[in-house]
Amino acid sequence: MTNANKRKGTAWESAVRDYLNRELGLLDEDGRLRDPFFWGNARRPAQEGSKDVADVHVVPFVLECKYVKRSTIPGFLRQAETEADNAGFPFGVAVVKTRGVAARRGKVYFTVRTWTRIRHLLGMDTDSMRKLYGFTPFTRGIDSGRWYLRCDLDAFAALVEDVRAVYGPGVIRAVR
């Protein structure tokens, strides 16, 4: 028998993947991938080797998906960024399930560094980026390593589209 928490985590990862594929227009009317070999599909990668590569890949991001009672966002973000590096992707973010609401309302967390890199790629100022995607900043003490920004998964899907529109399939090489 499978662990109940493992099942919930796997279901959350799948919900995130499916939601992003739907929002990015990658599914047909039957809910199947239009092109299973398309580079831009959101995927749940199989674990290969000794280094974890995160739960979901949606170029140019890796997503560390969490379904937990107590969130430790700075730790989740460190894990996401390590796994982005392991996978060869430029950006790692954490996606945390909000209990009792649909996947689109899941919370996507960014380090200040990652958020700033994306903002510069899009050529946006701080206020424009914050307002357009509904980012909320969180600061904890004077250590900026513990600061982060958050948006909903639906706003994140729009951000993915915008980054891809600017950089296309070469986005990983463009920002690494």
Whether the upstream peptide bond of residue 169 has omega within 30° of 0, thus cis, is no
DSSP 46: P
| Burial status of residue 130 (CB atoms within 10 A of its CB: 0-12, 13-18, 19 or more) | middle
Which residues pair with residue 108 across a beta bridge?
Answer: 95, 151
Q: Are 176 and 90 in contact (CB under 8 A)?
A: yes
Q: Are 16 and 95 in contact (CB under 8 A)?
A: yes
What integer pLDDT is reported at residue 50 of this predicted model? 72
What are the boundaries of each domain within the chain?
4-175
Could you tell me the pLDDT band of residue 170, with boundaries at 50, 70 and 90? low
What integer pLDDT is reported at residue 36 of this predicted model? 94
For the question of whether the overall pTM of this predicted structure is more than 0.75, the answer is yes
What integer pLDDT is reported at residue 71 of this predicted model? 81
Residue pLDDT, tens place only, 66-112: 998 888 899 999 999 999 999 999 999 999 998 888 899 999 999 99
